[in-house]
Structure 1
């Protein structure tokens, strides 16, 4: 066990970017399994793809625990980021007209 875990796996070890990349691999293997079944590939190929698809969430659960598995299977809802004055992007406010002349 890692010193920072205190009795269980710590989700902070697996960043959101890593989980997102793993989620992409999970979707790719799941899609390949379905395509292999539809096309009629040999049984051992379908079995290997299905076993890999099942092994990915199990490996995440062992590494990051149940919170990491939950993050893999149910990604968090992300709202549209709001523009901030620091970003330099100004979004129009509903109901307000744009000024075409610069302020003096």
Structure 2
């Protein structure tokens, strides 16, 4: 039997199309938040590279110029400027893993 017309939930009334339109309303906000998360991630990478330069130059057991032990500096790459943004992203990923449009290959993150 051939369908003559689309049924409810398909085409422009499909959940996927509706979600795309809703996201577009918040695109500027989304891009701003993603920019902050990218800045945070880039800074974490810089701290890691900086730590390796320090270790290579003066050693892993040395003390920095300001008297800061290297093991204190070694903890900084994991520090986030925007932990609330990261946590919100994690929650959204967890929720997406439970929703009807979830990609079955992604599992929600494991709680530590």
TM-score calculated relative to the size of structure 2: 0.38
More contact order relative to length (CA 8 Å, sep ≥ 6):
1
TM-score calculated relative to the size of structure 1: 0.40
